[in-house]
Amino acid sequence: MGRVYIIAAALLCLLLSALIYVTSDVRTRVSLPEVALREALAPVQNAFSTASQWVTESVGAVGSFPRLHEENRELRRNVARLEAELFALRSVQAQNVRLREMLDLKPHLPAQSVVARVVARPTEHWFAHITINRGRSDGLRAGLPVVDERGIVGQVESVTPQTARVILLVDPKSAVGGVVVGTDEPVLVEGIGDPTGQRASVQPLVRDSGLTVGDEVVTSGLSRVFPKGLPIGRVVEVARSEGELRSQGILQPYVDFARLDWVSVIVDPSAEVLWPWPRAASDPLVERSTGDAIPHGDAPIEEASTP
């Protein structure tokens, strides 16, 4: 009996040694019992592995909650900071666009012109004036015309060494002589105190006026305050009273007074201004019109005839 055990044990050792030796190297073929075992266990292993992964992720998520909370706070802070920076960049971008437009206008203005920044506006809506950051020390004086890339802004009312107060075109104290483009019909543009700053009155200075909606008005150059040919605005309403030969209209200025940032002060009003017609497509009035660009072409503006 003992010999049988010894022989069996020896055979078992030999068999195991052979099995271990055979399976000690890389095996490209798998035996049938192994295939059966692996295939039988595979679905369970798959389910267990999925469950394990879920548990691991869940435990990891719970464990990482404080870190995620802190990370979330940090991200929120970063978002707020980036939004502030984005806002600042957009502001700078818009300012850049305005300055480029001013630079485009610069070659058309007299050499003696000063670019200024709007630094203050009135607290009351009823006043239509602005304060710019250029003054007497820059050669400014009262009465000088002020423009931006769209047209007339107003004129300098008063100056200090470092600042100037500009009365806007739409202020009731403002009056500018103009002519209708194409007919050279002289008109007087006066502010009416419109709180929105988008309207001024336009009054023909001749009998049997042919003023119509859509007429464009530029400076006549007769007042010696504004150079000739500066865009003022477009007629948007015309009213004729029966029995009266004169008509009266409402003019919408080209300049958007609510968004004034930079302006140019023309120091020498007697100099000739070659305004860059036609106006750019970004002109608010062009955009606001019914779709047709204002038919100016690039024809030079003729001297207004006097009544």
Closest to 232 measured CA to CA, from 199, 215, 254:
254
How near is the Cβ of 58 to another protein at its closest, in Å? Answer: 12
DSSP states along 18-75? HHHHHTTS--SS--HHHHHHHHHHHHHHHHHHHHHHHHHHHHHHHHTHHHHHHHHHHH
Show the tokens assigned to 275. 């305004």
Q: Is 6 in the site for another protein (CB under 8 A)?
A: no
Among 7, 8, 10, 48, binds another protein (CB under 8 A): 48
Least CB distance from residue 86 to another protein, whole Å? 42
Stretch of residues binding another protein (CB under 8 A), selected from 24-32, 109-117, 129-137, 148-156: 24-32
Tokens 């020896």 belong to 10
Give whichever of 14 and 274 is closer to another protein, judged by the CB atom: 14
33, 107, 291, 307: which one binds another protein (CB under 8 A): 33
> If binding is defined by CB under 8 A, does position 111 make contact with another protein?
no
Cα 211 from Cα 248, distance rounded (Å): 8
Distance CA 22, CA 17 (A): 8
Backbone angles phi, psi at 118, to 5 degrees: -75, 120
**Least distance (Å) from another protein to the CB of residue 68?**
20
For another protein, the closer of residues 53 and 93 by Cβ is 53
Nearest residue to 156 via CA among 177, 134, 172: 134
- Show contacts with another protein in window 87-106 (CB under 8 A): none
| Number of residues binding to another protein, judged by CB under 8 A | 26
**Contact of 248 with 119, CB cutoff 8 Å:** no
Site string for another protein, 50-79 (x = CB under 8 A): -xxx--x-----------------------
Residues engaged in binding another protein (CB under 8 A)? 15-17, 19-25, 27, 30, 33-34, 37-38, 41, 44-46, 48-49, 51-53, 56
